[in-house]
């Protein structure tokens, strides 16, 4: 806590929003620790009026930020990375305490967040366009220009990374950013980012961090000063954001939910297959859009696989990740607990077998395994966002494709096998934005384009080479020595 208070002292952020300055707000919300229910502090909440004022400031600040030498923008991003490295323990502390992450998950989240800063720092020095064919005496250029103000609406589950992966590249290419983090994780998903960039020397007004409820998000989407919305969250909320953004003719990137399949072929090593299924299903209590929502196991090894998975689930420790070395921490809140219980109960009523788990104490939900799940079962169709492994047998390789594609989502998929050629044939039939052969469904390495299809998003991608595409727009520029004399 001593070094944490050097970076983000409570008297700095408690009851305050970040607009380049730390400003007081009339409305505050307690920050609760899911594992204990203890209050960790109090964050200020922005309303629609505050958002409208901030986007105007961000609009003014954006031009001078873009006009800075590209080396200066890169230098600020590198400084933010260095500060993040310096305060690793303090940032991990907040991710664990505020989001209910295990320490291993929090450390991984911080590492990819810092990597996104490194990658973004390289963007300003890259080629920003191309020279197009033109007649003699005329120069024709396609160049990338920043959009202006980018609004980012980020979720609770990977709060630091899912905000940083948008904030860092958007800033790097010359935009200003207004970030609305989920108020349940406003410190690790927002205020830490504000402090990193403040200490790195980002000019005032270029980044705003405004925790808020739905009215704040709606104001951000509708504000005429905002050119783009990058939204990560549920499909239901994403549909509303997409509809509102379309009404205002804004560019919009929607990274939404998933019902992701891990296909395990009968030539797979069963121990490796179980390890992959456990990681994909139970990491961060299953509260990940890429979580393995269905484990499709070829019938020849189905019984062995199920037996070993159930055995592993029975041994998984659930508890307070800030005090114990546990594999499962708490679910984010009671509303999500109730939703997990509803789906598990409905699944059993529809014929599924509850092999293990299904119970909870406070916000701690047991590692759960469901078998005998048909394609009409709620557990087959719905994104659970909890520690529930859904195991489904299949016969032929083609059947695995049919089952994997039987969903409105199209985010991630994985195939475990000893025959890569066989897996490649299956890969060609899978409808998903992300596909891993011999790995489970939860992967992100920052340098890769990340995005889904169908109800998992609008086909856009963030990360890697796609960041230039997402956070800039093309401008066609021609130059010639004198204007032509047209005949009309």
Contact 296, 281 (CB under 8 A): no
Contacts for 460 with CB less than 8 Å, ≥ 6 apart: 252, 253, 254, 255, 451, 466, 470
Burial of 185 (0-12, 13-18, 19+ CB in 10 A): buried
Measured from the Cβ of residue 233, the count of other Cβ atoms closer than 10 Å reads 21
Contact 418, 268 (CB under 8 A): yes
The CA distance from 72 to 65, in Å, is 9
Q: Can you tell me which residue has the tokens 């199920």?
A: 306
Torsion of CA 281, 282, 284, 286, to 10 degrees: 50
- For 191, which DSSP code? I
Two tokens, residue 366: 């047991």
- Cα–Cα nearest to 167, from 188, 186, 151: 151
User: Of 109, 289, 327, 366, which residue is the catalytic one?
Assistant: 289
- For residue 30, what are the β-bridge partners? 42
C-alpha distances (whole Å) from 460 to each of 40, 199, 256 are 36, 32, 11
289 is catalytic: yes
Contact 366, 360 (CB under 8 A): yes
User: Of 33, 98, 119, 255, which residue is the catalytic one?
Assistant: 255
38 is catalytic: no
Q: Which residues are catalytic?
A: 255, 289
């Amino acid at each position: 806590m001593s070094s944490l208070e050097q970076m983000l002292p409570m008297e700095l952020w408690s009851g305050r929003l970040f607009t380049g300055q730390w400003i007081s707000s009339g409305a505050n919300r307690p920050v609760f620790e899911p594992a204990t229910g203890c209050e960790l502090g109090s964050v200020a909440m922005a309303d629609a009026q505050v958002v409208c004022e901030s986007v105007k400031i961000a609009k003014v600040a954006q031009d001078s930020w873009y006009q800075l030498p590209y080396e200066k923008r890169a230098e600020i991003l590198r400084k933010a990375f260095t500060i993040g490295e310096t305060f690793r323990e303090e940032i991990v502390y907040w991710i664990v305490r505020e989001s209910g992450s295990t320490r291993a998950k929090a450390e991984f989240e911080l590492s990819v967040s810092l990597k996104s800063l490194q990658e973004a720092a390289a963007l300003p020095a890259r080629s920003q366009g191309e020279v197009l064919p033109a007649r003699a005496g005329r120069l024709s250029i396609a160049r990338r220009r920043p959009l202006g103000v980018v609004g980012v609406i980020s979720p609770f589950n990977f709060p630091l990374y899912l905000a940083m992966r948008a904030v860092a590249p958007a800033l790097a290419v010359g935009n200003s950013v207004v970030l609305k983090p989920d108020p349940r994780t406003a410190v690790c998903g927002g205020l830490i980012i504000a402090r990193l960039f403040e200490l790195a020397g980002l000019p005032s007004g270029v980044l705003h961090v405004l925790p808020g409820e739905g009215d704040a998000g709606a104001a951000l989407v509708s504000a005429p000063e905002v050119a783009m919305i990058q939204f990560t969250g549920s499909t239901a909320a994403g549909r509303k954001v997409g509809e509102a953004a379309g009404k205002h003719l804004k560019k919009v990137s929607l990274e939404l939910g998933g019902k992701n399949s891990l296909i395990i072929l009968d030539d797979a090593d069963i121990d490796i297959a179980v390890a992959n299924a456990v990681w994909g299903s139970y990491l961060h209590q299953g509260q990940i859009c890429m979580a393995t929502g269905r484990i499709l196991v070829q019938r020849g090894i189905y019984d062995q696989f199920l037996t070993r998975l159930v055995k592993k689930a029975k041994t998984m420790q659930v508890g307070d990740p800030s005090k114990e070395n546990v594999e499962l921490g708490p679910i984010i809140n009671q509303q999500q607990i109730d939703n997990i219980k509803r789906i598990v109960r409905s699944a059993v009523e529809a014929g599924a077998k509850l092999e293990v788990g299904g119970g909870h104490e406070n916000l701690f939900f047991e590692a759960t395994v469901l078998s005998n799940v048909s394609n009409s079962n709620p557990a087959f169709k719905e994104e659970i966002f909890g520690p529930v492994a859904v195991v489904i047998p299949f016969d032929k390789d083609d059947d695995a494709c049919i089952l994997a594609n039987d969903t409105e989502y199209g985010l991630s998929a994985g195939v475990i096998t000893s025959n890569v050629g066989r897996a490649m044939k299956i890969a060609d039939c899978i409808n998903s934005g992300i596909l891993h052969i011999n790995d489970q469904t939860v992967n992100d390495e920052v340098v890769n384009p990340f995005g889904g299809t169908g109800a998992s998003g609008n086909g856009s991608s963030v990360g890697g080479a796609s960041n230039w595409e997402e956070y800039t727009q093309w401008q066609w520029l021609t130059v010639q020595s004198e204007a032509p004399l047209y005949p009309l």
